[in-house]
Amino acid sequence: MKTTLSAAALAASFIVSLTYSQAGLAQQNQATLTQTGANNSAGIEQDNARRLTEATITQTGNDNIAGGAAAEGGIVQRDTRGMATITQDGNRNLAGILQQRATTGARATVNQAGDYNLVLISQVDSFAPAVDAVQAGTRNTAYINQSHVDNLVQTRQTGADNVITVDQNGAAYGGPVITQDGIGNTATVTQYSDTYPGGITVSQTGMRNTATVTRSSSSLGDGTSIVQNGADNRATHTGSGGRSPSSIMQTGDGNTATVTKSLKYNDSTIVQTGNLNAATVVQSGVTLSGMPPLNVATIIQVGEGFTASIAQAGSGNVGSVYQH
């Protein structure tokens, strides 16, 4: 196991501690880096550890980052059962975390409190790692990219310009679960060729909203849920592959919601309450093993602009529109 620490931190104080412990067959490697004040930066790299590894970076105040002198982001773990944590409290932030071939028990956690924020996080060819990203205050943004990963992704953004983009290729099972509170919003989730993907949940409260979820060539997903409360709304869900039910709920202001699916079985619900509304569901089922496709679509609109459209191709279709 190789651990490399680098810190370009002009006028920054830092503490680096490396701990190796062994108790019977239980072994653990730890790398801890703490920086307080001024220009900060950081590093940490862990390779080829078959035991549990822990890497922690804590930065308080000023220019932050979490990568080394020339690095974009901090903490890289390869072929480990790694737990990586970056905590940034105040000022320009950024972060990082890259995990490759991580095994059961791996986890990537980023906590950012205040100022310019960002995050990143990329996981490749890993089994059962979890991702937690929490951002509170100002510029936010996130990006979480996963390729061939079985995992759970949870992200939360509070206050200001928000964003979050999750890109999953060949992933399975957990999430993502996305929560955005306040101002810029936007949340884009793209899943390609996922097997038994976990339920996608996007919850947006306040201001500009928007949420685009695309599931392509996915098999038997747990469904997609988008909830938008207040301001300009919108929300688009596109799906192809195996069965994956979906629901979009919009309350207040701009509304608009479009669902387009070409799955083996389709089940979509759109509920809009208050203000400009719109909605559209387009579903075309694909015959599976000689069975007819089944499409179910429901649109409920209460209050103001209305407009609703349902188009379904194939046999065994059920559609309903309620406007009041």
- Rounded to a whole number, what is the distance in angstroms from the first to the last CA of the chain? 65
pLDDT for residue 13: 27
Token digits of residue 88:
């940034």
pLDDT at position 280 over 50: yes
Determine the average pLDDT of the residues in 298-304.
Answer: 93
- Rounded CA gap, 53 and 97, in Å? 14
E strands present in 42-187: 45-47, 52-60, 76-78, 81-89, 98-100, 107-113, 122-136, 144-158, 165-169, 172-181
Geometric angle at alpha carbon 265, from 264 and 271, rounded to 5°: 140
Determine the average pLDDT of the residues in 184-205.
Answer: 82
Dihedral angle over CA of 284, 289, 292, 295, nearest 10? -40
Greater confidence (22 vs 101) lies with 101
pLDDT at position 194 over 70: no
- Rounded CA gap, 273 and 129, in Å? 38
pLDDT for residue 91: 84
- Rounded CA gap, 41 and 91, in Å? 12
Token digits of residue 108:
């990537």
Percent of the chain, pLDDT > 70?
78
pLDDT at position 169 over 60: yes
pLDDT at position 186 over 50: yes
Determine the average pLDDT of the residues in 149-174.
Answer: 80
Closest alpha carbon to 148 in 167, 129, 130, 170: 170
Please list the residues that pair with 204 across neighbouring strands: 180, 228
> At 218, is the pLDDT very low, low, confident or very high (cuts 50, 70, 90)?
low
Percent of the chain, pLDDT > 90?
20
> At 12, is the pLDDT very low, low, confident or very high (cuts 50, 70, 90)?
very low
> How far apart, in Å, are the Cα atoms of 179 and each of 13, 234, 268, 293?
34, 16, 21, 34
pLDDT for residue 81: 77
> At 311, is the pLDDT very low, low, confident or very high (cuts 50, 70, 90)?
very high
Determine the average pLDDT of the residues in 124-151.
Answer: 81
pLDDT for residue 299: 96
pLDDT for residue 298: 96
Least confident of 64-78, 94-108, 126-140, 266-280: 64-78
pLDDT for residue 29: 75
Determine the average pLDDT of the residues in 217-233.
Answer: 81
Mean of the per-residue pLDDT values for the chain?
78
Determine the average pLDDT of the residues in 146-155.
Answer: 79
Going by their DSSP bridges, the two strands 317-323 and 294-302 should be labelled as: parallel
pLDDT at position 153 over 60: yes
pLDDT at position 257 over 80: yes
pTM for this one? 0.82
pLDDT at position 15 over 50: no
| pLDDT tens readout for residues 95-131 | 888 888 877 777 888 898 888 888 878 888 776 667 8
pLDDT at position 1 over 70: no
Range of 20-34, 114-128, 152-166 with top mean pLDDT: 152-166
> How far apart, in Å, are the Cα atoms of 250 and each of 32, 68, 205, 323?
44, 43, 10, 14
Determine the average pLDDT of the residues in 230-243.
Answer: 84
